[in-house]
Structure 1
């Protein structure tokens, strides 16, 4: 296992992540890593779903040659 550190979380959160990790047959570290990745992907998806500005559209439509 890589170097570790301690983070403070509530007992309720600890119980939920422990239960989720057990259900997924993963370590808590793996479950937390997957959750962080999912949150990052959610942010990217929301960014991609926003309307382009006129400047962005013009840049994408510009002739590359």
Structure 2
């Protein structure tokens, strides 16, 4: 495992993460890493669903050549 640090979370949150990690047969670190990736992906998906600005539309409609 890489170098570690400590973060403060509630006992309830720790129990939930530990339970989920055990169900997935992975470490808490792996579970948290997956959760962070899923959150980043969700943010990207929200950005992609947003309406294009006028500037973005103009750029996409520009003649390439």
Instruction: Give 1:28's aligned residue.
Output: 28
Question: Between Structure 1 and Structure 2, how many residues are aligned?
Answer: 65
Q: Distance in 2 between matches of 1:53 and 1:13?
A: 39
After TM superposition, the score normalised by the length of structure 1 is: 0.97
Instruction: Give 1:41's aligned residue.
Output: 41
After TM superposition, the score normalised by the length of structure 2 is: 0.97
Name the Cα RMSD after superposition: 0.5
Runs of 4+ aligned structure 1 residues displaced above 4 Å come to none
Q: List runs of 5+ in structure 2 lacking aligned partners.
A: none
Once the 2 structures are TM-superposed, how far is the Cα of residue 54 of structure 1 from its aligned partner? Answer: 1.4
Q: Distance in 1 between matches of 2:29 and 2:55?
A: 42
Q: Distance in 2 between matches of 1:40 and 1:24?
A: 20
